[in-house]
Amino acid sequence: MGFMTTTLASTHPVETVHGHRVPTGLFIGGDWRTTDSTFTVLDPATTGHIADVSDAGAAEALAALDAAHAVRDEWRRVTPRARAGLFGEAYRLLRSRAEAFAAVMTAESGKPLAESRAEFNLSAEFFLWYTEQIAHLHGTYAPASHGGYRVVTTHQPVGPALLITPWNFPMLMIARKAGAALAAGCPVIVKSAKETPLTCALFVETLREAGFPAGVVNLVHTTSSSAVSAALMADPRLRKISFTGSTGVGSTLLAQAAPGILNASMELGGDGPFIVLEDADVELAAKQAVVCKFRNAGQACVAANRIIVHRAVAEEFTKRFVALTEQLRVGNGFDDGVDVGPIISARQLDGVSELVDTLRGLDSELLTGGNALPGDGFFFAPTVFRVNGRPTELCSRELFAPVATIYQVESTSEAIEFANDTRYGLAAYVFTRDLSRAVAVGERLDFGMVGINRGIMADPAAAFGGVKASGLGREGGHDAIYDYLEPKYLALTVDEEAGLA
């Protein structure tokens, strides 16, 4: 193979974050590089300085594509066992650095340390899942309809892939995307979120140390996301984009992908209906709703967005849900016993305050919270509103905040109708003791995923993704790697009488 090995240069730029050394440069063609311009990563819990990170422009992004394109043929020809061996070593190194990843995630994203550890564990399991799938990518063999030849279908890597990761789950998103792409044989250019670049850097450095060849994995950080993405997507050498983020940005990227007919996977916004039917286990539903709503301070695309409760249990559920919400402890994610960390930025915090002001102006009742918290950091109290009717200002709007809205319905059919009355279709949740009813309701919900009597459902073996304005494609499960592969049909002429005499 024509691969170069990579070694860590003595000038390698690093920053120490909570006792752990993290690269702060760009990783291109097997080398960590610096740029003349940098940007600052802030701790959202203290607003303090964490690190200064190299700031890429279009030129650096295209250099990363140069590197990925140069090794595309060599990487696709690496045998499944050899590729799986690299994955196995990377998984071993990842596991050995669990606390480093958790600390870096908590520092730059603000999420409680327990959540960061849980995210790391899930991310590592995704990477292990892809490791195990590499040797099990199969094609088909069949006779032609009228004989005379054989229909052989195989799969080949789509080519260099741009992976755009969000700030809310910085480890999970890069492990899930890069794991699938690299397992399929695609070299990658990762564009990190400017709020959380350090987790991505630590992940890429781990792959480098595991022996992934130069050019196969590239990483750029930037404050000019639109310019970087546009430059890459206008280049015909790029053959795949995978993006997780808002529906608005996803729509723009799809428009940019159209001229080059670029293969695109999109995991976009959500408007998760959380349905509690009259026969539900109310205690279980309330506990799961708190997790589903307030995990990562509500900053999740699969969060409970509209809590839709049957009138028969509405009062009981609401009382218990509010009580559990008021027990949540807000604070710095490194402090013991903290359940909810800060909002990611001052701009995002302003958006939460504006959302609450909107709710106050509607036919609604504030049950708890409703205010930013004093002191350093971007903290907002976990908030619950009871909402009457179906105000257009809220329906089909992703809250993305530690703000819960509870609605009341009179019947199961009304709950389904209300749940489906949205442009989004990512995740929905149903709570009922009747399994047949759960299946019947779940099948009628226009969402890519439905959690039944549970508020968390991400799993390496599951196909994660949505319908409608929530995206295209799936991450996880058997589908994930095939999102980075194209079927190839070989028509094989066969003399069916040859050698039979």
Question: What are the pLDDT digits (tens) for 74-104?
Answer: 999 999 999 999 999 999 999 999 999 999 9
- pLDDT score at 1: 42
- Consecutive H or E run containing 416: helix 412-420
| Residue ranges of domains in the chain, CATH in brackets | 14-268 (3.40.605.10), 272-452 (3.40.309.10)
Asked about 200 being catalytic, the answer comes back as: no
- pLDDT score at 7: 47
Which parts of the chain register pLDDT below 50?
1, 5-10
Q: Which of 60, 115, 301, 475 is catalytic?
A: 301
> What's the predicted TM-score (pTM) here?
0.95
Strand blocks (E) in 362-484:
364-368, 383-387, 403-409, 427-431, 449-452, 471-472
Strand blocks (E) in 7-139:
14-17, 20-23, 26-28, 31-33, 38-42, 49-54
Order the strands of the 161-164 sheet from edge to edge.
Answer: 31-33, 26-28, 217-220, 188-191, 161-164, 240-244, 263-267, 471-472
- pLDDT score at 6: 47
Produce one character per residue of 147-171: b if its CB has 16 or more CB atoms within 10 Å, e if not: eebeeeeebebbbbbbbbbbbbbbb
* Helix locations, 110-246, DSSP H: 113-133, 170-184, 197-210, 225-233
- pLDDT score at 435: 95
Torsion of CA 103, 109, 115, 121, to 10 degrees: -60
Cα-Cα-Cα-Cα dihedral sign, residues 167, 172, 175, 181: negative
Q: Which of 267, 292, 398, 475 is catalytic?
A: 267
Helix (H, G, I), strand (E, B) or coil at 49: strand
Beta bridge partners of 31: 28
Asked about 326 being catalytic, the answer comes back as: no
